Structure 1
Amino acid sequence: MSVTAASGFRAAGVAAGLKSTGALDVALIVNDGPLSAAAGVFTVNRAKANPVLWSEQALQTGSARAVILNSGGANCFTGAFGFQTTHQTAERVAEHLQIGAIDVQVCSTGLIGTGDETFRQGVLAGVDAAAAALVASDAAGLRAAQAIMTTDSVAKQAVATGTGFRVGGMAKGAGMLAPGLATMLVVITTDAVAESEVLDRALRAATRVTFDRLDSDGCMSTNDTVLLLASGASGASADEAELTAAVTAVCDDLAEQLQLDAEGASHDITIEVRSAATEDDAVTVARSVARSNLFKAAIFGNDPNWGRVLAAIGTTDAVFDPYAVDVTFNGVRLCHAGTPDRPRDEVDLTPRATHIGIDLFAGDATASIRTNDLTHDYVHENSAYAS
C-alpha cells in the first residue's frame, strides 16, 4: 500500500506518451480532506527546475490539495516556456478539482534541457486522463508510484501506522542520489489531524536522518522534492512525536528501497561511524567515505581496502586522531589504532549487503550513511541516459 493507505486520498497513474516506451508517466495524488495541511523540502541546488520554483512558492501557504507528477521530462532549463508549462499544469489540475492553482504541487523528472509544445500537450493530456482515473485503492497508488519511475527498476512504496492514523508514501530515484535536500521525488500522505507547522517539523526531522543520509553518487538533482500532505480524515489528532516517528519510518523504508535500486550497484553499503565527537562529525566522516570513488571501486572488486577508508576520512575537519581509528569490514576489524589488524582474506565481500564500521574514539556520537559501489553498469547507464 502506498499514498492511498491514508484515508482521504485518491491517486492515479496514466500513460500520456511522454515516454517512448508507452509506460505510465503521469501521476496525480489528491487530498480530499477535510484538511489540506502540507509541508515540503526541496533541492538546495541553485539550478532549480521550473516545478520546484513553482512548488516552493505555492507551499508557502502551508496548504496543498493535489500533487501532479510527470516522468519523461525534467522541465528544467526550459526558459519561460517551461515555467508557463508548470503554471498551466497546475491550472489544469485545479480546473478538474475545482480548487485554486496555488493548492497544486507540481513535480517533474527526466532529462534536463528538453521540452517543447509536444511535451506540454502531453503533460496536460496526462492531467486530464489522471483526473478521470482517480481512485482510493491500492492499485491506484501502485500505478501512481509506477508513473514516476525513470531509471528505477521497481516502484517504491511504504506504510506506517500510528495511534488512529496512517502514513503512506511513494518515491522514485535510482541515480543522482545525494542530500540537498531532498534526494528524489517523494510524496507522503497521512490521515492524521495536524497543522502545517507540525508537518514541517516532522518532515524535516525525518528527512535529516533518512534521505539526507543517502549518498549514492554525490550528484544532486535539480528537481528533488519531498512532500507531506495531511487530510485529517482519520479524525485522530496525532501526538507530534508519534507522527514524526511514523513519517521517519516511511522515509527510512523508502530511502532503503532507493539504495537497493541504485543504478548499476552490486553492493549496498552502510557506513557507520561510532564514537564521534558530534553527530555532525560522524555524518561528515561517513559521507567522505561514501563519496570516495577509490573506496567504491574497491568494494565493487570485493577488495576490503581499509587504507582507502582512512585516506578519505583524513580529508575532513572532524575531531579525531587518525592514528587511533579502528575500521571493520563486515564485522572483521582490519585496522586497529591506525595499524593493520586481521588479515584481509577473512573478509567476505561477495554478499550484496556491506557494512563498514569506523570507530573514531573521540566521543559518543554516531551516524550512518547509505551508499553503493561504483560499477561498470553505473557508468554505462549514465553514459547512455539521453540516448
Structure 2
Amino acid sequence: MSVTAAQGFAASGIACGIRRQGLDLALVRSRVPATGSGLFTANRMQAAPVTISREHLSLAEPQAVVVNAGVANAATGQRGELDARATAAEAARHLDLATEEVLVLSTGVIGEPLPLARVLPGLSRAAAELGEDGGDAAARAILTTDTRTKTALARGPGFTVGGMAKGSGMIHPNLATMLAVVTTDYALAPGAALEHLRPAVEESFNSISVDGECSTNDAVVLLANGAAGAPRDDVAFARALREVCADLAGQIVADGEGATVLAEISVTGAASAGEAKAIARRIATSPLVKTALFGHDANWGRVLAAAGSAPWNGGYAHLDPA
C-alpha cells in the first residue's frame, strides 16, 4: 500500500478489459487539495498521454492520476490525444475535479488506440473502489512485462513518502518505459514539487539502463498534499524522496527483461559529474560489457574500452590508463 501510505491518498486497481486478463487500470487521488509535478520522457516521439499530462500540469495542480496498462496510446495521432483528454475528463467527472487536475499515463503496445469503450466505464468502477487499502491493486494494475510489483516507502519527521512504479524493458536514462507515481503528506508550495523531483529523478530513474532503449511514455509524477501537518524540513523531505525514487529505480533495473545480473557502475576522478555520468552510461550500454557480465567474466579491458569511447563535450571523456 505504499502509494497510499501517506495520509489523504486513495487508490484502486481494476480489470476493465484492455488486456485479455488481469488488472489494467489504476487510479490514484488525493482526498485533500494537493500540489505536484511530473517529469516525462526525452523521446521526441511522445505518446498522447505525455502530451496531455504536460499540458494539464501547465494549467493546474494535479489531484489524481489515471494509469492504464496494455495499450501505450502512442503513435496514435489526433485520436490518441482526444482519447487521453476523454480519459482525464471522465475521471474528473467521477472525482468532482477539473479535467486539468487529472494526469493520464499509459503503458503497453505502441500504435494501438486506447479502447475507450472499456476504459471509460472502467473509470466509474475504479473511482467507486478507491480506498486507502487500494495501493497494492493499483501497483499490480500498471504492470506489463514486469514479473513483480514495485513499491517503496520512506518516512521523515512526521511525514511519509510512498510510491509505485512499473518497468522492465525499454529502460535507459532520461526515463524509459517506466512509470512511477509518488505521493507524500508533506506540504509543498505550488512549484516546489518540481524543484524536489528533478534532482531525485536525475539520481535514480535517469541513472539506470537495461537495454539502452528510450520509450515514448515514461513519466514520474509527484503529488504532495500536506495532510500530515509536519514541520517544515525540506532537507529531510528531499532525502526521503530520493530514497523512494532510488528504491523504485533499483527494483526496475533488477526486474529487467531477461536480466540475470545487476551491476552498479561507480565512476571516480572524473572532471565533472557530467563526464562521470557519460562514462557510466557508455559502460552500462556496451554490449561487450553486458556479455562479460552475463558470463561472469572479469574482462576489465571491455570496461576500459567502453569508458574511453564515452561521448563528452563534442569529443570523448579523458582517461588516465595509470
TM-score range, shorter chain: over 0.9
Matched, 1:129 2:125: yes
Q: Where in structure 1 do 4 or more consecutive aligned residues deviate above 3 Å?
A: 317-322
Tell me the residue number matched to 2:58: 60
Q: Is the 8 Å Cα contact of residues 310 and 322 (structure 1) preserved in structure 2?
A: no
CA gap 1:320/1:188 in 2 versus in 1, 3 angstroms: same
Question: 5+ residue gaps in structure 1?
Answer: 325-387
In the alignment, residue 244 of structure 1 is paired with which amino acid?
Answer: A
Give 1:61 shift: 3.5
Distance across 2 between alignment mates of 1:11 and 1:148? 12
Q: How does 1:1-387 map to 2 (within 5 A)?
A: 1-20=1-20, 22-33=21-32, 35-61=33-59, 63-115=61-113, 119-137=115-133, 140-181=134-175, 184-316=178-310, 317=312, 319-324=317-322
For 1:106, give the aligned amino acid: V
RMSD of aligned residue pairs (Cα, Å): 1.3
8 A Cα contact 1:182 1:207, kept in partner: no
Q: TM-score, normalised by structure 1?
A: 0.80
* Structure 1 residue 58: Cα displacement: 0.4
CA drift at 1:323 = 2.0
Quick one: higher RCO (CA 8 Å, sep 6+), 1 or 2? 2
Letter in 2 for 1:132: A
What amino acid does structure 2 have at the position aligned with 1:286?
Answer: A
TM-score (norm 2): 0.96
Check conservation: 1:39, 1:62, Cα contact below 8 A: no
SS of equivalent to 2:119: helix
CA contact (8 A) 1:163 1:238 kept: no
Q: Distance in 1 between matches of 2:276 and 2:42?
A: 22
Shift of 1:237: 4.2
- Number of aligned pairs? 318
**CA distance in 1 between partners of 2:225 and 2:260 (Å):** 40
> What is the alpha-carbon distance in structure 2 between the residues aligned to residue 319 and residue 85 of structure 1?
45
What SS class does the counterpart of residue 135 from structure 2 fall into?
helix
Residue identity in the other structure for 1:5: A
1:81 is displaced (CA, Å) by 1.4
- For residues 125 and 51 of structure 1, the distance between their equivalents in structure 2, rounded to whole angstroms, comes to 19
Q: Which secondary structure state, in structure 1, belongs to the residue aligned with residue 43 of structure 2?
A: coil
CA distance in structure 1 between the partners assigned to 2:287 and 2:320 by the alignment: 20
| Whole-angstrom CA distance in 2 between matches of 1:60 and 1:307 | 48
Identity in percent: 45
CA distance in 1, matches of 2:57, 2:153: 24
SS of the equivalent of 2:51 reads helix
Cα shift at 1:98: 1.1
Structure index of larger Rg:
1
Segments of structure 2 that go 5 or more residues without pairing to the other structure are none
Structure 2 CA distance, aligned partners of 1:240 and 1:299? 39
